[in-house]
Amino acid sequence: MNLSLEGRTYVIMGVANKRSIAWGIARALHEAGARLVFTYVGERFGNSVRELAETLEGQEPLFYECDVTDDESIIQTFESIGKDVGTIHGLAHCIAFANREELKGEFLNTSRDGFLTAQNISSYSLTAVARAAKPLMTEGGSILTMTYLGGEKVVQNYNVMGVAKASLDANMRYLASNLGKDNIRVNAISAGPIRTLSAKGVGDFNSILTEIEERAPLRRAVTQEEVGDTAYYLMSDLSRGVTGEIIHVDSGFNIIG
Ligand code: NDP
Ligand code: KAL
């Protein structure tokens, strides 16, 4: 079987900086020979994703600004990608957001607006993006999203984002069921805690990491590279029979009671 991704094009959404999980995925797919297309939101991150992408040897990546709260922005982005590259073979959705003040304290106090914001950016965006990307997946494809254990079990402080990830997980399964007839697979990676910009300043991240180091089967945290390698598997033909699945890349922490 050909494990190279040469001749294939993948859209990577959600690189904010070099610590981003999306960047770990981009590097793994680049090493496998893929052509990459990046989307970002806001000029600040547009510049940083350009600088990062320039470090990928032999790659002439393309960049599009895409705010997933805006249907028109999503439609325009994928129309432009279609015009510029034609067929795409996969998409990595690495996007989540909740208001900082709702990622601590009592879940009971979650506001309607905060709840809907988390659902909008962190879950609905997957449906909207899949719909816009489908016409470009003329040879079938693989859609991947990023989830977290807090959508399956209660994790302190994850709060409104836990409900959004539960929604994202179901969203992923319904999309998998819907798009299977088009040979488009849809899966999620549930990553263990990784220190990224999103993780900064929210909850007690250090104590969560310490718990992983003490109690996870592998007794260590995972890296962006490890998530990237599983993303490579999900984008490659090795995973051709896998859809609607959540793969935990979390040192096995999810099995511990
Ligand atoms: P990053 O902060 O690096 O990435 C989060 C990304 O979400 C940013 O690139 C951000 O773009 C993007 N984003 C937020 N709002 C929007 C929007 N309206 N439109 C488009 N993009 C938007 O963090 P991570 O790499 O940690 O997060 C990536 C994914 O991984 C998320 O889904 C997260 O929940 C998930 N995850 C992370 C874990 C961890 O421990 N870090 C563990 C398990 C899952 P911008 O910065 O330009 O606003
Ligand atoms: C239990 C954990 C500890 C942390 C609690 C909540 C984490 C929620 C993740 C969520 C995506 C974070 C935010 O939305 C942060 C946001 O309010 C402020 N940050 C920003 O706006 C920055 C600038 C941009 C880049 O961030 C985004 N997202 O746009 C969960 C830990 C152990 C695991 C994590 C971090 C999971 C996860 O889902 O990210």
Burial bucket for residue 187 (CB in 10 Å: 0-12, 13-18, 19+):
buried
Q: What is the pLDDT of residue 46?
A: 73
Whether 45 is in a domain gets the answer yes
* 231-250 b/e (C-beta count within 10 Å ≥ 16 → b): bbbbbbeebeeebbebbbbb
Q: What is the pLDDT of residue 215?
A: 98
CATH number at residue 14: 3.40.50.720
Q: What is the pLDDT of residue 107?
A: 97
Question: How is the beta sheet containing 62-65 ordered, strand by strand?
Answer: 62-65, 35-40, 9-13, 90-93, 141-147, 184-191, 246-249
Residue 30's contacts (CB-CB under 8 Å, 6 or more residues apart) are: 36, 56, 59
Whether 54 is in a domain gets the answer yes
**Ligand 2 proximity of 203 Cβ (cutoff 6 Å):** yes
User: Residues of the chain whose pLDDT is less than 50?
Assistant: none
Which residue range(s) make up the domain with 69?
9-251
In the annotation, is 10 catalytic? no
Q: What is the pLDDT of residue 186?
A: 99
Q: From the candidates 10, 40, 64, 158, which is the catalytic residue? A: 158
Distance between CA atoms of residues 238 and 70, nearest Å: 34
Tokens standing for residue 169? 């997980």
**Whose CA is closest to 29, among 236, 243, 205?**
236
Distance between CA atoms of residues 38 and 50, nearest Å: 9
Global ipTM: 0.98
Ligand 1 binding site (Cβ under 6 Å of any ligand atom): 14-16, 20-22, 40-42, 45, 67-69, 94-97, 121, 146, 148, 191, 193-194, 196-199
Whether 256 is in a domain gets the answer no
Whether 233 is in a domain gets the answer yes
Q: What is the pLDDT of residue 130?
A: 98
The total domain count for the chain is 1
Distance between CA atoms of residues 178 and 134, nearest Å: 11
Q: What is the pLDDT of residue 151?
A: 98
**Whose CA is closest to 64, among 55, 72, 73?**
73
User: Scanning the structure block, which residue is given the tokens 């601590």?
Assistant: 104
Whether 257 is in a domain gets the answer no
In the annotation, is 40 catalytic? no
Whether 209 is in a domain gets the answer yes
